[in-house]
Each structure stands twice: as C-alpha cells, then as structure tokens.
Amino acid sequence: MTANFLIGLREGLEATLVVVLLMAYLAKTGRRHLIPRLWTGVAAAVAVSVGFGALLTFGPKGLTFEAQEAIGGGLSILAVGLVTWMVFWMARTARTLGSDLKSRIDRSAGGTGWGLAVVAAIAVGREGLETALFLWAAAKATGESTQPLVGALLGLAAAAGLGYLLHRGVLKVNLSRFFTWTGAALVIIAGGVLSYGIHDLQEARLLPGLHSLAFDISAAVPPSSWYGTLLKGTLNFSPATTWLEAAAWLLYVVPVLFFYLRTSRKSPAGAAASGTNAAVKATVAA
C-alpha cells in the first residue's frame, strides 16, 4: 500500500503540475475562457487511463495459467521500462517543461481552442497510462487487490490536494528534493516489480531457474507476518528469490540508481520548482 501511495503521489503530482502550469499560462495571457477545454482534455485522459487499468485487470481472465503469467511478466517489465524513462525524463527536461507547455498552448489555442484539449489529454494521459500500468504491475507483485488501489487513490488525492494549494498560492514545495527522492524510491520499487516480472516469466516457462533459489528466508521472514507483508508491500521483497530474480534486481537497481542520482545532480529539478511557483503566482495575480 505504501509503495502504491508513493506511485500515486508522484505521478499524480506530475500530472497536477502540468494542469497548474497550463491554467496559469491561460490566465496570464487572458484566455481564461479556454480553461473548460483544458478540463475536457484532462477528463478524457482520466477516462482512458481508468479504462486501460480495467483492461489490464480483467483482460487476461480466462487464459491459461502460463499465458497469464507470460502476459503479466511482460507487462511488468514494460512498466519498469516506462517508469525508468519517466524519472530520467523528469530529471532532464524539468528546466524546459514550462516553456514547452506554453509553446504548445500558443500553437493550439487558436479558433475554438479544442486543440488545447488535445494538449491537456496528451500531457496528462501519458502520466495516467504510465501510472495505470505501473500500479497494476506493483499490485500484481504484492498479490493484493484492494489495498494497492486504496493506497494509489490516497496518493492521487494527496497530489490533487497539493496541486490545489499550489494553485492557490497557499503552499510552497521544494519540488527539486521531492522529485529527486521520490524518483530514487520509484527506482527501488521498480526493481522489485522487475524481479517479480522475471518470476512470472519463469512460471510461464519462458525463463529457466524457477527452482534455483539464491536464498530462502521464509522461516525468518514469513510472508504472512506483518513485517513480511510490509516488505512485500513497500519493496516487493520476496523471502524466496531465485538467482535470476536476484541478478535482475541488482543489475537494474544499482546502475540505474547511480545514473539517476548523477543525472539529477547535473540537471536539478529546481528549475521546474521555480517555474511552477512563478506560474502559480501569475495565476493568483491574474
């Protein structure tokens, strides 16, 4: 639940900041009448993301066990790839995020302004689809259904609340630190999802080594214990891990975390923070 809360909070706040920046620029340039078009695009993106999540949840039903595990493992690895791309993208392009969105508005706000709805749908929908896929993969890895959903919804609600406070100028958040550390946490969570995806492919008999365990500490960390559940829910930790799962986790987390933190130091997200705060101030002043 904690991991899914973090995913919902991080991804939700990214989408919320996009909406705040778009609204701020529309207000600053005297185009408030286009804000309903913006919300239409946001609503469309949310609907598509929810539909995608439902498809992931109910689509594989009725297939053989091996087919379900193969699909689940493949989608889990795809989710890890998308999340990895997302955290590096945010670290590298935070400095130009605001100006890129403004140029898209200027190109799309002519005529009836429905092009703005498309801009909002694409910007928010990208985050929504990534979130739906990664939440599904993380929930599948923990073997839970209700708690991950509740955690994700709480994270999204918290993100919406933070976005509203930012929009009203009530709250100032150090977005540089927020995105840096939540990005690092997501890399570790993604490592667990990748490990579980490898396990799924092993159960689907697409990869070998299902019974070759690197370690088995189930006696010390029972999966049904509160601490076993906590480790599973936060880090997707399995007390019985195969050599292939362990190797995948190490070969992913160690280098990706190293290069991510180095990229974050070279391209700090502080520019995104200052840009967002400036946009929020413009909205309040307008």
Q: What angle do CA 137, 142, 148 make, to 5 degrees?
A: 75
Question: Can you give the pLDDT at residue 258?
Answer: 94
CA end-to-end span of the chain: 40
User: Average model confidence (pLDDT) for the chain?
Assistant: 79
Over the stretch 137-195, which tens digit does the pLDDT of each residue have? 877 776 666 777 788 888 888 888 887 787 776 667 666 777 788 888 889 989 988 99
Question: Can you give the pLDDT at residue 279?
Answer: 46
Written as one string, the DSSP assignment of 49-68 is HHHHHHHHHHTTTTS-HHHH
- The neighbour count for residue 206, using CB atoms within 10 Å, is 14
Residue 268 has pLDDT above 60, yes or no: no
Give the residue carrying structure tokens 């002043």.
285
Residue 240, SS3 per DSSP: strand
Question: Can you give the pLDDT at residue 95?
Answer: 62
Residue 88 has pLDDT above 70, yes or no: yes
- The neighbour count for residue 193, using CB atoms within 10 Å, is 27
Query: For residues 97 and 197, which has the higher predicted lDDT (pLDDT)?
Result: 197
Strands (E), 48-146: none
Range 193-211 average pLDDT: 92
Whole-angstrom distance, CA of residue 71 vs CA of residue 79: 12
When pLDDT is cut at 50, 70 and 90, the band that residue 94 belongs to is: low
